[in-house]
Amino acid sequence: MANVVVVGAQWGDEGKGKIVDWLSERADIVVRFQGGHNAGHTLVIGGNTYKLSLLPSGVVREGKLGVIGNGVVIDPWALCDEIKRLGDQGVSVTRENLRIAENATLILPLHRELDQLREESAGEGKIGTTGRGIGPAYEDKVGRRAIRVQDLKNAKTIDAKIDRLLVHHNALRAGLGKPLVDKDQLRAQLNEIAPKILPFVDVTWDLLDRERRAGKRILFEGAQGALLDIDHGTYPFVTSSNTIAAQAATGSGVGPRAVGNVLGIAKAYTTRVGSGPFPTELTDEIGQTLGERGHEFGTVTGRKRRCGWFDAVLVRQVVKVCGIDGIALTKLDVLDGFKEVKLCVGYDLDGERIDRLPAGQTGQARVKPIYETFEGWTASTRGARSWASLPAQAVKYVRHIEELIGCPVTLLSTSPERDDTILMKDPFAD
């Protein structure tokens, strides 16, 4: 059986939570491979709603192992809070169902503070960060001055690493006119949190290799969406990590051949949180209707999402960059009742038709969508569990999307309920 990577094929918030939960029931191990607690999944299981940010989706299911890979930046205080919240809901998180990569980078209080200071001082140039310290932590990682999970094991050697870190951060804070970080206070904070995190620490790349060779099914769970990728997204309005499928290998320590099938998640329309280009954005009544019907508010931030028509240009681009084998199309039911729906099939850039999103910020801001108008459907798709129960026009809409993006829709979600899912091809099958 193949392993499966799940990635967002738009700007995040595509409904990955339900799909990952649906798949995690059939997986043995669920791995988070990038991002931090700036993204989240909402899972509804047995009438209970679980909101996860750092924890892999598998931890809420008995007998599954969740792994936080080395590509994730971990706020240990946020992680402990999340573990406690699940405990209050009756889900026990122990070493039996959670392991943390020893070489993962930590998010510290100084990262959160710097993140917020930068956004406050950016004015109209704000990127739209969540202010949770994700970007500054990744900066320290590539700057080779980060405190990593394994550093919590040795209080004697951590002093020198804190000194190296503070040379950089205190210089920044002084330039911003802010108080310097107190070394003793930071060390005390780390010493206090260490015993709560260390029981979960493991050599996860080796663990995953052993389990893979033993024939266990592994589900690699991405956060956010491919259009927020630091290299391939709408830069600079992106996140600070690689969100494309290839990061599943790098961010978990397995070889690329071990990754397996790539399942992309896309909404039947498009949404985006925060700043940045959005060619098909609708600021009219239709956009408002999409947001209301789709309950478009961020799981973590609660921020209202911008809404627009399905952008086949962007999803086709993501299919190529991520090597997506199949698309899970979600929230088809939100389009029920529209007399007509539109699909973006190309862009107009200064009078020239193009079939990709420009890499440059100014070009991205200038593109105008070229639409194809599609007849809508009046019958409801909500709760449909077979193709036969879908309105004929809705089926045509899905099939046309397949043609436009050059990729089959292998799974269709028709409501937030996990069983309201139509499966055309099993992602775990070779």
DSSP string, 46-72: TTEEEEESSS-GGGGSTT-EEEE-TTB
The whole-angstrom separation of Cα 265 and Cα 15 is 7
What pLDDT is stored for residue 234 in this prediction?
A: 96
Crossing angle for the helix pair 312-322 and 392-405, to the nearest 10 degrees: 50
- Identify residue 256 by its one-letter amino acid code: P
Do 246 and 71 meet the contact criterion of CB atoms below 8 Å apart? Answer: no
DSSP state, 305? P
Q: What share of the chain is helix, strand, coil (3-state, %, to 5)?
A: 35, 20, 40
What pLDDT is stored for residue 49 in this prediction?
A: 84
- For the chain, list residues with pLDDT below 70: 1, 121-129, 298-302, 430
What pLDDT is stored for residue 405 in this prediction?
A: 98
**Which single residue is written with the structure tokens 């990744």?**
138
Which spans in 323-390 are helix H?
361-366
Phi, psi for 396 (deg, rounded to 5): -65, -40
What pLDDT is stored for residue 128 in this prediction?
A: 60
Distances (CA, A) of 79 to 38, 104, 119, 175, 200: 12, 13, 24, 31, 11
Marked catalytic residue, from 13, 28, 140, 311: 13
Q: How many C-beta atoms surround the C-beta of residue 288 within 10 A?
A: 13
What pLDDT is stored for residue 41 in this prediction?
A: 75
Distances (CA, A) of 333 to 47, 57, 92, 340, 413: 21, 24, 35, 14, 8
Q: Give the residue from 319, 321, 311, 316 showing the smallest Cα distance to 367.
A: 311
DSSP 226-266: GGG-TTTSSTTSS-SS--STTHHHHTTT--GGGS-EEEEEE
Marked catalytic residue, from 21, 28, 37, 41: 41
What pLDDT is stored for residue 287 in this prediction?
A: 94
- Is 169 among the residues known to form the active site? no
Three-state DSSP state, 103: coil
- Is 232 among the residues known to form the active site? no
Q: Give the residue from 65, 71, 56 showing the smallest Cα distance to 28.
A: 65
Helices (H) and strands (E) in the chain, counts: 12, 20
Give CA angle at 165 (164, 171), nearest 5°. Answer: 100
Residues 344, 348, 349, 354, Cα dihedral to 10°: 70
What pLDDT is stored for residue 181 in this prediction?
A: 96
* 400 Cα distance to chain centroid: 26
What pLDDT is stored for residue 122 in this prediction?
A: 61
pTM reported for the whole predicted model: 0.92
* The three-state (H, E, C) secondary structure of 107-175, written as one string: CCHHHHHHHHHHHHHHHHHCCCCCCCCHHHHHHHHHCCCCCEHHHHHCCCCHHHHHHHHHHHHHHHHHH
What pLDDT is stored for residue 44 in this prediction?
A: 73
Tokens of 386: 């077979």
Do 229 and 8 meet the contact criterion of CB atoms below 8 Å apart? Answer: no
